[in-house]
Amino acid sequence: MSAVPHEESPHKGKTGLQRILNATRWSLEGFAAAARHEYAFRIELVVFALAAPAGLWLGRTGLERALLLGCLFLVLIVELLNSAIEAAVDRVSLDNHRLAKRAKDIGSAAVMLSLINAAVVWLLILLS
């Protein structure tokens, strides 16, 4: 059995400032794609835009403010990862398959846990 050489990304060879600029551009493109194509992400962005200033105002200490904002950022991060998983699964096949369903369901469960986490953090801080 012969080993098939894996092709490296041509972008992996970039270093320094060019690599940072490329990574920043691609990150912004990913953010824009999620905002354009993912309804749940758009809703979460609106909630973030409304809740983040409230969290800065309602938090009494730097730690409370960090927790209130951090859990909001976590929801966005997990939603982005879930959207990436769904896109990758759909790229492979649009057929119904138990492993594709499992991957998508697990991603959805991660989003749900991040939302529950945000609610618990906000309740614990605001009710203390």
Just list the catalytic residues: 79
- In DSSP notation, 6-56 reads PPPPTTTT--HHHHHHHHHHHHHHHHHHHHHH-HHHHHHHHHHHHHHHHHH
Find out whether 68 and 126 touch, Cβ atoms under 8 Å: no
